[in-house]
């Protein structure tokens, strides 16, 4: 069955005309598909049964659904979503006093094999379609309203997969999320995180996107970054910094460096010095992230004293850095822990 939501507006107009329906049906159908986010074509209550029957002959909606939800002690909610073809991805709702953030996935699995990330130990099965990404956001917004009586305030593409290797679907999803015909969210509330695909970062600049960009740096020299992020061998730090400056020149959008601290690997003063040098080459802020252990990796979290010294050194050198405490660790929902594991029964 064809996916009705994949039809362009012009294609939908042609389809509705061929059925013999009036043009105003197009707007009604689009509202059902996106704003109301229905699960079945038959849910379009103000569309005639004859038209719904005709649509059902050739089309379905290929809906993403929640397969399982886990609730953390810190109020984070992790969801395993099942796709229409039976594959799974995970998405997380992260409530704080000031924000309600949806962390969404862009691929089933990942091909980049980052050594500290659970998703990196999975094979990449396929890219998510733009409507599957949109559905994640809608489901997480519904959870925010149901459990916390608040709407989403932010969206981060920091779940499973590399967003810039699914470029067209990610941008199309964001376009729908930010459109009046979709969720109407501001692009300034959306951040796309990349492990570092230089040519695609430049393409973001050329396309003059309006959302924010984050680079998963995690090591401030090529030798160490090659060790934990194989993508660095073809997209080294110098090339990435040039791409980030190009992006900023084109868009003036905020850039963030994400830097996970690993004990006795990238947490010494010398590492901080290298990070400071990078920060002076790109207009960016830094999120220092505590490491969340996974069973496949050898890394450990530094002790608190070392984290404090690292942060203090950055502060002394006028680096705009913030320590991000992980949330949802007790349900494997924190940064780097998403992996489609088989969850226990609710």
3-state SS record for the chain: CEEHHHCCHHHHHHHHHHHCCCCHHHHHHHHHHHHCCCCCHHHCCCCCHHHHHHHHHHEECCCCEEEEEEECCCCCEEEEEECCCCCEEEEEEEECCCCEEEECCCEECCCCCCCCCCHHHCCCCEECCHHHHHHHHHHHHHHHHHHHCCCCCEEEECCCCCHHHHHHHHHHHHHHHHCCCCCCCCHHHEEEEECCCHHHHHHHHHCCCCCEEEEECCCCCHHHHHHHCHHHHCCCHHHHHHHHHHHHHHHCCCEEEEEEECCCCCCCHHHHHHHHHHHCCCCCEEEEEECCCCCCCCCCCCCHHHHHHHHHHHHHCCCCEEEECCCCHHHCCCCCCCCCCCCCCC
Is the same domain home to 69 and 56? no
Check whether 126 has a pLDDT greater than 70: yes
CA angle, residues 123, 224, 307, in degrees to nearest 5: 100
Domain that holds residue 47: 2-60
Is the same domain home to 285 and 173? yes
Check whether 306 has a pLDDT greater than 80: yes
Is the same domain home to 205 and 226? yes
Check whether 346 has a pLDDT greater than 50: no
Is the same domain home to 131 and 273? yes
Give the lowest-confidence range in 27-31, 99-103, 118-122: 118-122
The mean pLDDT of 309-330, rounded to a whole number, is: 88
Is the same domain home to 36 and 75? no
Is the same domain home to 105 and 244? yes
Check whether 331 has a pLDDT greater than 80: no
CA dist 321 → 21, 311, 313 (Å): 57, 7, 10
Higher pLDDT, 274 or 344: 274
Task: State percent of the chain over pLDDT 90.
Answer: 86
**Does residue 301 belong to any structural domain of this protein?**
yes
**Does residue 345 belong to any structural domain of this protein?**
no
**Does residue 339 belong to any structural domain of this protein?**
no
Q: What is the pLDDT of residues 156-191, one digit of tens each?
A: 999 999 999 999 999 999 999 999 999 999 999 999
CA dist 119 → 29, 179, 204, 246, 283 (Å): 36, 30, 24, 29, 29
Residues marked active site are found at: 90, 335
CB distance 124 to 71 below 8 Å: no
Residue 22 tokens, joined? 């009036």
The mean pLDDT of 272-291, rounded to a whole number, is: 96
Residue 340: band (very low, low, confident or very high) from pLDDT cuts 50, 70, 90: low
CA angle, residues 79, 82, 83, in degrees to nearest 5: 135
Is the same domain home to 160 and 252? yes
Check whether 151 has a pLDDT greater than 60: yes
CATH of the domain at 164: 3.20.20.70
Last residue in a domain, options 35, 60, 85: 60
Is the same domain home to 50 and 176? no
Check whether 344 has a pLDDT greater than 60: no
Please tell me the predicted confidence (pLDDT) of residue 182. 96
Is the same domain home to 56 and 69? no
Please tell me the predicted confidence (pLDDT) of residue 330. 61
Is the same domain home to 137 and 259? yes
Please tell me the predicted confidence (pLDDT) of residue 342. 43
Please tell me the predicted confidence (pLDDT) of residue 5. 98
Give the N- to C-terminal CA distance of the chain in Å, as an integer: 32
Task: State percent of the chain over pLDDT 70.
Answer: 94
Check whether 33 has a pLDDT greater than 70: yes
Check whether 28 has a pLDDT greater than 50: yes
């Amino acid at each position: 069955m064809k996916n009705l939501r994949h039809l362009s507006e012009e294609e939908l107009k042609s389809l509705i005309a061929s059925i013999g329906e009036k043009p105003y049906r197009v707007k009604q159908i689009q509202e059902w598909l996106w704003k109301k986010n229905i699960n079945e074509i038959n849910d379009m209550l103000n569309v005639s049964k004859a038209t719904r029957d005709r649509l059902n002959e050739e089309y379905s909606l290929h809906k993403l659904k929640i397969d399982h939800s886990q609730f953390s002690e810190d109020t984070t909610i992790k969801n395993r979503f099942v796709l229409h073809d039976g594959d799974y991805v995970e998405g997380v709702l992260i409530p704080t006093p000031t924000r309600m953030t949806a962390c969404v996935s862009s691929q089933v699995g990942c091909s980049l094999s980052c050594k500290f990330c659970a998703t990196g130990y999975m094979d990449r099965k396929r890219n998510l379609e733009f409507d599957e990404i949109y559905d994640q956001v809608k489901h997480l917004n519904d959870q925010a309203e149901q459990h916390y009586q608040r709407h989403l305030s932010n969206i981060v593409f920091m779940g499973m997969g590399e967003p810039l290797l699914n470029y067209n679907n990610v941008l199309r999803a964001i376009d729908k999320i930010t459109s009046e015909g979709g969720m109407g969210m501001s692009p300034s509330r959306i951040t796309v995180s990349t492990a570092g695909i230089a040519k695609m970062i430049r393409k973001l600049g050329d396309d003059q996107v309006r959302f924010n960009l984050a680079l998963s740096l995690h090591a401030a020299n090529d030798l160490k970054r090659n060790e934990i992020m194989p993508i660095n061998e073809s997209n080294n730090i110098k090339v990435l910094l040039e791409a980030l400056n190009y992006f900023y020149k084109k868009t003036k959008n905020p850039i963030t460096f994400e830097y996970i601290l690993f004990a006795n690997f990238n947490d010494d003063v010398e590492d901080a010095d290298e990070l400071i040098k990078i920060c002076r080459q790109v207009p960016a802020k830094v999120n220092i992230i505590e490491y969340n252990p996974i069973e496949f990796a050898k890394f450990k979290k530094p002790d608190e004293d070392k984290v404090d010294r690292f942060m203090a050194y950055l502060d002394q050198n006028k680096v705009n850095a913030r320590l991000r405490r992980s949330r949802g660790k007790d349900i494997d929902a924190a940064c780097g822990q998403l992996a489609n594991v088989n969850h226990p029964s609710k």
